[in-house]
């Protein structure tokens, strides 16, 4: 369980497994990451980097503040109408509504999966010699 808790960290720090159960589920099921990303965030990861970063930051603030554009705007230091506009874009791109509890769960898992995927380096690609070597064993 300690190894699982450690895999939930994206940087240095302390991880208490009971406080990070959703992250632990994702860490122990890396094959699900692409599916969780797709189900939770839809087309958001495919947006240009600048748009994606702003919308993910806004989504995280909305989720952290129970879907409240007013509180999210305060946390983001921007106008409430800006957050409402971004929220509509997020909902259009993801196909999820922040007001819907199940959609909010999938959006939350999608954000966690995006953070996990960004923190995990791509596996090395095996060359032809390595593939033959692996098959021979």
Distance (Å, whole) CA 35 – CA 7: 19
Distance (Å, whole) CA 68 – CA 10: 27
Which residue has better confidence, 94 or 12?
94
Which residue has better confidence, 76 or 32?
76
User: What pLDDT sits at residue 136?
Assistant: 41
Environment class of residue 129 by beta-carbon count within 10 Å: exposed (0-12), middle (13-18) or buried (19+)? exposed
pLDDT band of 117, cuts 50, 70, 90? confident
Per residue in 69-83, pLDDT (tens digit) is 999 999 999 999 999
Q: Is the pLDDT of residue 125 over 70?
A: no
Distance (Å, whole) CA 53 – CA 57: 6
pLDDT band of 119, cuts 50, 70, 90? low
pLDDT band of 120, cuts 50, 70, 90? low
- The values of phi and psi at residue 23, to 5°, are -65, -35
| Percentage, residues of the chain above pLDDT 90 | 56
Would you list the domain boundaries of the chain? 48-118
> Mean pLDDT, the chain, as a whole number?
85
Q: Is the pLDDT of residue 26 over 80?
A: yes
User: What pLDDT sits at residue 57?
Assistant: 97
Assess if CATH 3.30.200.20 describes domain 48-118: no
User: What pLDDT sits at residue 15?
Assistant: 83
Residue 111: other Cβ atoms inside 10 A: 20
Tell me how many degrees the CA angle 82-87-88 measures, rounded to the nearest 5: 100
């Amino acid at each position: 369980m300690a190894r699982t808790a450690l895999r939930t960290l994206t940087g240095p720090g302390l991880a208490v497994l009971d406080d990070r159960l959703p992250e632990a589920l994702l860490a122990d099921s890396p094959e699900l990451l692409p599916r969780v990303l797709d189900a939770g965030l839809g087309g958001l990861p495919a947006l240009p980097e600048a748009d994606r970063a702003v919308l993910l930051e806004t989504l995280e603030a909305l989720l952290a503040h129970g879907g409240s554009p007013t509180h999210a705007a305060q946390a983001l230091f921007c106008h409430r109408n800006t957050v409402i506009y971004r929220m509509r874009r997020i909902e259009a791109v993801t196909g999820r509504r922040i007001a819907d509890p199940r959609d909010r769960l999938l959006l939350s898992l999608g954000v966690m999966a995006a953070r996990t995927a960004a923190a995990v380096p791509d596996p090395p690609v095996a060359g032809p010699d390595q593939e033959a070597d692996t098959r021979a064993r």
